[in-house]
A and B are shown apart, each in its own frame.
Chain A
């Protein structure tokens, strides 16, 4: 098994290498083409003819859906499960039997035909349902198509044309401006302040600058490549050459990866398959055994086949799959009310058995917007309120320095709110401007108040926007005091660059000379904030000399005819994409529930680690290997890896690790953070966790998360921030993007697992009283006590609602304090459950049925001993005067109606016992009295429904001839009641024993 995985890894790596090689070669080749065609006056682009050739060769620039299994095969697969096959066989036997009867001219009895049709209907209906479920969750490639831009401006034959994006070919020159989608993977040739939003691809929250220089070997890291499907946020005309189109682009590869990843079978599907196989096996075993027995006793072959069919029908729980589906969809509905939309029903339970959650950082754990987190002024680090609803504590704002710092921050800022947003809370308002300016704008709006008005008062004289060479931004304003005619210069930028330009520092409103001591204080603060993974900006200002720069002084931003040194340092402001308020609590809850939370992000290690520490993924006091090395002042290699609870692994390190090493790392460090990971690596991490036997949940929102989301046992996508690709690949969507909703999901998942266990136990029990009549009928030759159609009525009508109602049962204990179930040990249907249901409760029910059967026979004149061996005469169509125990003579028809009476009586017995059964199944350990009899209203109404339906079937006119139900005497309803009471009392005794003597023989054998 492991070898195979290893091989797979190798294959993947090989593939990757080949891809890279291809890509590099491709790039070179196209580069040559372009340079040849380049003319001095600019880019002429490809000729249309050549482009057409390349298009012919490479195909259109679009994502091709992978060749999937044809729909009819998928549908057929749904009809060919273990139980379904058995039911097909049973239906065929019914048809054959009916055909033979028809050929013999004996068409008094259409039972076999009905039965065959019903069986086929059951198979087809459940099949359709399953197919629909599968159909909904497979349409993944479509979502990627939505990402792709439709139109692009291309330069061909030296002319600009707007063409359909899928006509683009490798080598084409395209033009992009702010707001456009990137039409393919392109290499930037010329650019001007171009920024692209890669968040969906890499998980980086901030727009990334794109320039023509190559800054990194890795195509994902380098500055000069912009990717298909990302958007250009700002920048005037940028030209780029297409290096990859269609499926060969990064996004195309992710799409192929995502659609290529097979849907993992959910744990509940595995469980259900597991026990369906067992049941199908047992059904065949029973059927075949009694087929042989029947042949041996001397029945005809056809009769023996019909017995086989009947045993299959009796033993197979036809309604079970429907029950499970309904139970799961009820929970799905309940979850939907709590903002978790479940796409794949089976995923409802998966969260409950999840033992590892691999969470993306951006947008899942964090708010996905830069927010001011800390300020440094007056030689102190102040924490700002980063909560989404501004409910946190704020810092002391009384200092004079703060006022100056706030003034710089407010004025030296080009971002503005979009109009008409008065009603919207400030953190949620839309802003025009880049991420950090937005953060500052919102921050100042919150702390200073009405920024529009504030800026109005300080009229702007000139402005020099941020650029990458200067690394600062300056503007000059008039003061709001009309008597003070000085200009105010405000500047912000990279802290070290700002500090270089300052000669004084503002401490408690006093300008002090910036000496060594303050420089050191600044360095410490800068390092501290940087260590928190925050982006730090420095702020300074200067009151310009009134005489040198009088009002109306012509400032020129290009010449910078104003002082840019000797400024006064005001402070530092640091920003981060802060964690959501609910996340730390949710992570804590996951931990109590025995679930490990692993962060897997595309962002930088420092930021990742800071957020991990912030939300509790890395707990307080946990150290990484590097931390220990630093503390002990020893080299990293000497640290015992086992001592480190936490571990941060970056994508670069991960690339060099073998899968065994990754497994080892996951095993030895309980607190893991993966940073700078590629989509492929996310997949590898998930696979590694799965290899370790964990049930893995993956949360994410970006396109880059989609392969991992698909690979995970349960993929959870974010509803608001999530890309369509992520949503499509996921099994579950959190509508409020709230990680905390996962905890609700876990709770519901665990509850439904427990309740499904109860439902299944309830459903399986009645198969024994359905089966035993046939066994007795074949071996002892009594008149048939229970017909196939009646069995189907129990399975598909009366017992469905009660078994579903068990899904509404409350948890018996605090399920969120337990460890997740071990899928290898805690099965849905274990031996104890089956044995207890079949051989104990089922046995009691059989006795109840036979008691009632013999009572009905005896009271109508057929004593039990006479019944034994009576079958051949009883079923002889030509015998119209069979004598009963009293000497009365019965025609065949009269006997048949008596037989139907027996069916009904047996049916009623099973119903009565099943009422008792549903009551005992409410709990597995607690007494029903502790759980409360009537607390589950649905269950009570289900019992009432069951009784009403039973009565309808018995007493509705016309039933005898259609469905073989007879209006039976009232007292026969009460014959099985003692057995019902016995079931209840016996189970209470069982539960008492289980509670009183945990671990005892009784507990081991009888607790399921």
Chain B
């Protein structure tokens, strides 16, 4: 019994720190000999290969179980968000200094490239006021309804290439997020308000800010390759009194069952941005 109570060899203790990295007497590196390392690494190689294989297999099964056209679940995106172009919630520019607003103009111009007539001429001219349903067609490639830049009239950038920025009456484009299969009920339109004592005149394009139902439903990136979202342009007809002030503008999708008053998601069916035009 007494033999179990060996004294710790003090000599070993002093060199054990170095030995734990490399022990020249046994040839051990980090407590293992080369062959021991080889064996354990081989074991882990096999082990992880097996695991990786299993992971790959499950991923493969997962991916083949997915539909190419429609996501399996859409419960995280039941309602579309509303976004503006130019993509800035805090716009500020000097109407007489092109350098300040050129970025917005450029942004709008590039954004509207897809709405050029050259692109849109291939698309269908759909009947207005109705959903453009294509569920019954065998063809997986769905047709898209055309939305021409011209629909935006003064804000199309065709007549006024500065989108009104130079004259202090800037255009802002609004678009609803794409959601597959979304069919808003009622007649959706965009309504913007400025939180300010005196109301500000606004012009909507297309008229009354309507979003036509024919652009719904969306069939997904793969099936609906040429789909473009309907846009609504708002031209803020600012007057001298409104310059040099930060104006908070809120736009909402109205006239439908789409949510526009979610407490947590401030971009669900609505968008708030500030605009300040300096003279």
Contacts and interface: CB of A to CB of B under 8 A. Distances in A.
Nearest to A819: B4
Given A858-B63, A982-B54, A889 B180 contact: no
Contacts of A1005: 40, 43
A600 B146 CA distance: 102
A635 B43 CA distance: 65
Given A887-B220, A891-B265, A693 B6 contact: yes
Contacts of A693: 5-8
B45 interface: no
B2 A666 contact: yes
Interface stretch (A187-195, A219-227, A271-279, A844-852): A844-852
Nearest to A960: B264
Interface in A883-932: 883-894, 897-898, 901
A890 B8 contact: no
A880 B54 CA distance: 36
A379 B4 CA distance: 48
Interface string A839-857: 1100110010011001100
A1008 to B, nearest CB: 15
A688 to B, nearest CB: 11
Contact of A858 (B62, B75, B221, B224): B62
Interface string A1-41: 11000000000000000000000000000000000000000
B251 to A, nearest CB: 13
A1001 B39 contact: yes
Given A881-B81, A982-B54, A887 B221 contact: yes
Contacts of B177: 880-881, 888-891
A888 B4 contact: no
Interface size class of A (residues with CB under 8 A): 35 or more
Interface centre among B1, B47, B80, B180 (most CB of A within 10 A): B1
Interface string B240-277: 00000000000000000000001011111001000000
A801 to B, nearest CB: 29
Nearest to B51: A847
B238 interface: no
B21 interface: no
B220 A824 contact: no
Contact of B268 (A855, A863, A893): A893
Nearest to B68: A886
A959 to B, nearest CB: 14
A667 interface: yes
A885 B81 CA distance: 17
Interface string B88-100: 0100000000000
B10 interface: yes
Nearest to B82: A880
A407 B83 CA distance: 114
Contacts of B17: none
Contacts of A881: 81, 83, 175, 177
A880 B83 contact: yes
A694 interface: yes
B101 interface: no
A53 interface: no
Interface in B204-244: 218, 220-222, 224, 227
A860 interface: yes
A450 B103 CA distance: 117
Interface in A988-1008: 1001, 1005
Interface string A948-971: 000000000000010000000100
B234 to A, nearest CB: 17
Interface in B156-211: 175, 177-180
B59 interface: yes
A854 B56 CA distance: 12
Given A847-B54, A881-B81, A961-B264, A668 B2 contact: yes
A860 B5 contact: no
Nearest to A879: B87
Given A859-B71, A886-B70, A1005-B40, A891 B268 contact: yes
Nearest to A979: B54
B4 A969 contact: no
B74 interface: yes
Q: Sort A-B residue pairs by CB-CB distance and give the 7 closest, nearest first.
A: A887-B221, A891-B81, A889-B177, A893-B265, A861-B71, A859-B72, A692-B5
Interface of B: 1-2, 4-8, 10, 39-40, 43-44, 47-48, 51, 54-55, 58-59, 62-63, 66, 69-77, 80-81, 83, 87, 89, 175, 177-180, 218, 220-222, 224, 227, 262, 264-268, 271
Given A889-B80, A894-B76, 9 more contacts: A670-B2, A694-B5, A854-B62, A864-B59, A880-B81, A883-B178, A886-B221, A888-B218, A897-B76
18 contacts: A2-B10, A670-B1, A693-B7, A819-B4, A840-B47, A843-B47, A851-B62, A855-B62, A858-B62, A861-B71, A878-B89, A880-B177, A880-B271, A883-B178, A886-B69, A887-B221, A894-B77, A978-B54
